[in-house]
Structure 1
Amino acid sequence: MTVLDPPGVDEVGVAAMLPSAEPLSLIDDVSGTESLDAAVLLELYRQLVRGRRYNLQATALTKQGRLAVYPSTTGQEACEAGAVLALDRQDWIFPTYRDTLALLVRGVDPVEVLTLLRGDWHSGYDPRAHRVAPLSTPLATQTPHAVGLAHAAALHRDDLVVLAMVGDGGTSEGDFHEALNFAAVYKAPVVFFVQNNGYAISVPLSKQSAAPSLAHKAIGYGMPGVLVDGNDAAVVYREVRRAAERAREGGGPTLVEAVTYRIDAHTNADDATRYRDAAEVEFWNRRDPVTRMEQHLRERGLLDDAGVDRIRQEAEDMAEDLRSRFATDPSPDPLDLFDHVYARRTPQLEEQRALLAQELDAAQSVRDGSARGEGQ
């Protein structure tokens, strides 16, 4: 074997890396989830209902001007709930700006989840406390960060896995390539979770990639690719958990693609009717992840009307609390801009902070003078 020879991978190994031809699914068969604990299935449903209500409430807050922007995940709730519940508590999550429900499932305060989108703080929650990196707006830039943390954890022999979340548009970025390549070479304990919702803003997947699926990209890096029905929370949970267990045992990264759909527009600033028709949206509405999970649980005898009502009321209580806490406008301190940039402020930041403080003091003096009637 020379230095130019590729690593030996037999045909069986290659076949094992390839995803299935069709997305894996569980809940369309009444017996499909028998291998999963009933408590897990009920918690998945609970989080789907909470997530749907959260999306509706956040969208309403945006229309009221209380949020600067909101990227809805209506229709994608099964991806968020299934992937996060599949993790252990010590595991880390590196989300995109659209993954607000992932944070909600993780236990982050609902108001803190929306703080960045409100525009009054850099993050809104303590990443270390929740083991959730800040929501990332630039596409795929969080994926190398996720791999870096995972590789460091492996070097320190820390028992943790990292979930790197990315949209279909993010898979076209160079950061995504670099992250997968590094993770595969060093067998970093990462699960790359791609939510393929059909569009990168207005650009359909067909304009981004000619691959049979995004999961097929995994084999080019030497890792398994898994293709799942992203509107089936149970199969998302099962496959992400399997990938996490493989990573935890030293098997390296896995790429899981969840095929789903973004029912709402890209954000409140987008007009989705300009690039897709109502029939397409209606097709995906018939595959609603909340309805499908509820129907499956009812057919298995794990859920009844009383259970549905109880979970819906819990979600309504959460939405009411969110509305109430958003009724008061925040009063951010402009000088906070200079905190948490570095562990210790640089001389340049100190100088800029002092200049801003002088300007704020001068402005306050003018306001105080006007209140006393001076200069009239």
Structure 2
Amino acid sequence: MVQALDAEGNRTPCPEYEDALSTLSADDMRRMYEDMVLLRRFDTQATALQRQGELGLWPPSLGQEAAQIGLGQALRPQDFVFASYREHGVAFARGLQPADLLGVFRGTSHGGWDPQKHRFHTYAIVIGTQTLHATGYAMGMNLQGRVGNQNPERDVATVTCFGDGATSQGDVSEALTFAGAYNAPVLFYCQNNQWAISEPVHTQTSADLYRRGEGFGVPGVRVDGNDVLACWAVAQQALDRVRSAAGPFFIEAYTYRRGPHTTADDPTKYRSGAEVEAWERRDPILRMQRYLHREGIIDEAYETELEERGEQFAAEVREACKAMPDPAPEEMFSHAYREPHPLVEEEKESYLAYLAALDEEADR
């Protein structure tokens, strides 16, 4: 497993990726740390909002900050990401705002953002479907000559993010089949957080997940998903490989979901407190914090200022969530098809007439 920082924040040898890691400045590493801290503060605030009845549901990312920020910081502007529903850190790296994400789970938006503007597709709730979407998009990039030109501003890497549970879905195997057969420039980024809701990963597979692609002609690597430096270095090298037209690649970021699968889940029913405590000692933020302090890159004053920023950020998230206006009822029909559809228009008019009749009844 590729690792640049151990659980105590000590720098470990990482021969294959040292050249990339040597390019990171103190500012780069501070930004990674800040992004992880703010992502966690956002996540805990969103969880609290759901508990208060402001969101219908929330999928926490607690414990997976390094895997997401490492990937997000390695992306180039032209790259395109197809995510599942937990990639909040990658979403922020692509320029999305908290309200964009919260609107989906508050029920005020069908998607929440323009995928082309952010080069980040809307969240995929159905497990594994995004891997097929990404592979098809990547095949299109091949046909358009958008890879292998040695042009850092034009060559495109397509990325699909998914969890260990998704690898049990046929969609993922089908995506790997097409990616391998057509040499699609797509990076499969699996965040193995050890649990597919209540099923541990060892009941899903007897083989390491990073080797899942080998039978499809897709090489892979496992990285310590709680080590943001290693995640960044591995992702950067893999993305460069994909953009160069060398074919698809598979990364398994070995991490842990410390919270529930979603706020509708109770993880105490299926896993032990001792297991959670063991993974808390591998906390990705604490690991990076120790390293940066040891290197003199951050100090106590910086930490205090960052904590204050986090609280201000959380307050802004609360305000943005509660200020979201309820959408007009007819909005649910607006994006069923790209062009107007007679049947959808008929259904919309029928529904609006029904609502109007209810209003008239209430006025009597």
TM-score, normalising length: structure 1: 0.89
**1:311 Cα deviation from its structure 2 partner:** 2.6
Summarize the alignment of residues 198-277 of structure 1 with structure 2, pairs less than 5 Å apart: 198-211=194-207, 213-277=208-272
**1:329 Cα deviation from its structure 2 partner:** 5.3
Residues 1:312 and 1:157: Cα distance change in structure 2 (over 3 Å): farther
Check conservation: 1:140, 1:171, Cα contact below 8 A. yes
Which residue is equivalent to 1:37? 24
Which residue is equivalent to 1:133? 121
Give distance in 1, aligned partners of 2:347 and 2:182.
42
- More moved, 311-320 vs 164-173: 311-320
**1:114 Cα deviation from its structure 2 partner:** 1.5
**1:43 Cα deviation from its structure 2 partner:** 1.4
Summarize the alignment of residues 94-133 of structure 1 with structure 2, pairs less than 5 Å apart: 94-133=82-121
Structure 2 segments unaligned to the other structure (5+ residues): 147-154
Give the ranges of 4+ consecutive aligned residues of structure 1 lying more than 6 Å apart after TM superposition: none
**1:109 Cα deviation from its structure 2 partner:** 1.1
Structure 1 segments unaligned to the other structure (5+ residues): 1-22, 371-376
Summarize the alignment of residues 40-189 of structure 1 with structure 2, pairs less than 5 Å apart: 40-158=28-146, 159-189=155-185
Check conservation: 1:104, 1:113, Cα contact below 8 A. no
For residues 305-364 of structure 1, the C-alpha deviation after alignment (integer angstroms, 9 at most, x for no partner) is: 222223332222211101112233532111011112211121110110110111122222
Which residue is equivalent to 2:152? none
AA of the residue aligned to 2:258: I
Give distance in 2, aligned partners of 1:317 and 1:154.
44
- More moved, 328-337 vs 200-209: 328-337
Check conservation: 2:72, 2:89, Cα contact below 8 A. no
Give distance in 1, aligned partners of 2:197 and 2:84.
14
Check conservation: 2:102, 2:321, Cα contact below 8 A. no
Give distance in 2, aligned partners of 1:281 and 1:205.
15
Give distance in 2, aligned partners of 1:71 and 1:210.
27
**1:249 Cα deviation from its structure 2 partner:** 0.6
Which residue is equivalent to 2:310? 315
**SS class of match (2:213):** helix
Which residue is equivalent to 1:292? 287
Which residue is equivalent to 1:346? 341
AA of the residue aligned to 1:188: A
1:331 aligns with 2:312: no
Give distance in 2, aligned partners of 1:360 and 1:25.
58
1:302 aligns with 2:289: no
Give distance in 1, aligned partners of 2:159 and 2:29.
21
Structure index of larger Rg = 1
- More moved, 299-308 vs 44-53: 299-308
AA of the residue aligned to 1:55: D
For residues 157-195 of structure 1, the C-alpha deviation after alignment (integer angstroms, 9 at most, x for no partner) is: 232111100100001111101111111121111110000
Give distance in 2, aligned partners of 1:151 and 1:117.
31
The root-mean-square deviation of aligned C-alpha atoms, in Å, is 1.4
Check conservation: 1:30, 1:300, Cα contact below 8 A. no
AA of the residue aligned to 1:37: L
Aligned residue-pair number: 346
Give distance in 2, aligned partners of 1:326 and 1:223.
41
Percent identity for Structure 1 against Structure 2: 38
Check conservation: 1:80, 1:101, Cα contact below 8 A. yes
Check conservation: 2:226, 2:284, Cα contact below 8 A. yes
**SS class of match (1:360):** helix
TM-score, normalising length: structure 2: 0.92
Give distance in 2, aligned partners of 1:156 and 1:317.
44
- More moved, 58-67 vs 28-37: 28-37
Check conservation: 1:338, 1:345, Cα contact below 8 A. no
